[in-house]
Amino acid sequence: MATLTLLQAVNDALRTKMRQDDSVLVFGEDVGPKGGVFLATEGLTAEFGAKRCFDTPLSEDGIIGTAIGMAANGLRPVCEIQFQDFIFPAFDQIVSEAAKLRYRSGGQYTAPMVIRTPYGGGIRGGLYHSQSGEAYFAHTAGLKVVIPSTPYDAKGLLIAAIEDPDPVLFMEPKALYRSVKGEVPEGHYTVDLSTTRTVREGKDVTVFCYGAMVPVCEKAAAAAAEQGVETHVVDLRTLLPLDEEAVLDAARRTGRVVVVHEAPRFCGFGAEISALIAEHAIEYMEAPVRRVTGFDTPFPNTLEHHYMPDERRVLDAIEATASF
């Protein structure tokens, strides 16, 4: 079993499926011979040729529109949007076309396609290369929204996304691309979509997180344990469809909940977790649900380390929730 970075695991997943299935194509801006701005597709053109891994014009709506047409005609395109911040010119194609194709055609057509895109902060990319827009897309029926946080999950979830019969937005936390490593099996395996992952067992406070916030919450939980607070950390992995029962079970387990994400607080995904618990598990709650998030401002450059939740902010929330 190889030890890979999250970035290498993404590449391995693409390579595995392309070897297995000739209908899998990879394309986007600079993903061909260059291998993408982060090198996630490095070596794919050399192995599979320019007909299966190729560059596109700088046109996000064109990339997604092309993928929809391919998917509706029997191919399984995996297209890359170079930064999630650039996805908005293709917003209509994603939410009004790809996500609606099965419903509007009465099941005659589907869009088995994956949109890969790096998101979030952590590389000092400033306001145009650091946004976390998952909440925009989690509001869209017919779409799946997946965010891995480990190399094992990155490969298994991406293969599952490619094999899924409906469109999947696969958001990759670029802060973790090279900063986390883990054992990844060779060959084909999948991690089921719409499942959570228990990162750490605990009985006092439950923390829900995803993406780049998972290792942050792990560190905060370890610090809390030194003070006698046992934190139950859950990686959501798939935001849409969300494993609601797993979320509720984890919330009921402790009766105290903290939700962490780097996207802005207002209408962020943490609000949905809070509402779900309020509607279905309020009688188990011993404290208000606390959110630790980015701020309701554009993403800053020099102040990136203040904007993104860190171990101290998460630990403060855990302590406050535990002592409420």
Distance CA 29, CA 54 (A): 8
Question: Are residues 171 and 134 in contact, defined by beta-carbon separation less than 8 angstroms?
Answer: yes
Question: Are residues 153 and 192 in contact, defined by beta-carbon separation less than 8 angstroms?
Answer: no
129 is catalytic: yes
Tokens representing 287 are 């404290």
Q: Helices then strands (H, E): number in the chain?
A: 12, 14
Distance CA 99, CA 37 (A): 27
Q: DSSP state, 127?
A: T
Given the residues 129, 232, 261, 280, select the one marked as catalytic.
129
> 6-20 and 151-163 are packed helices; what angle lies between their axes, rounded to 10 degrees?
30
Q: Which of 180, 183, 128, 107 is nearest to 152 (CA)?
A: 183
Q: DSSP state, 132?
A: -
Residue whose pair of structure tokens reads 């029962």 in the numeric block: 245
126 burial type by CB count under 10 A (0-12 exposed, 13-18 middle, 19+ buried)? middle
Tokens representing 168 are 């999947």
Q: How much of the chain is helix, strand and coil, in % rounded to 5?
A: 40, 20, 40
Distance CA 317, CA 74 (A): 48
| Residues with active-site annotation | 129
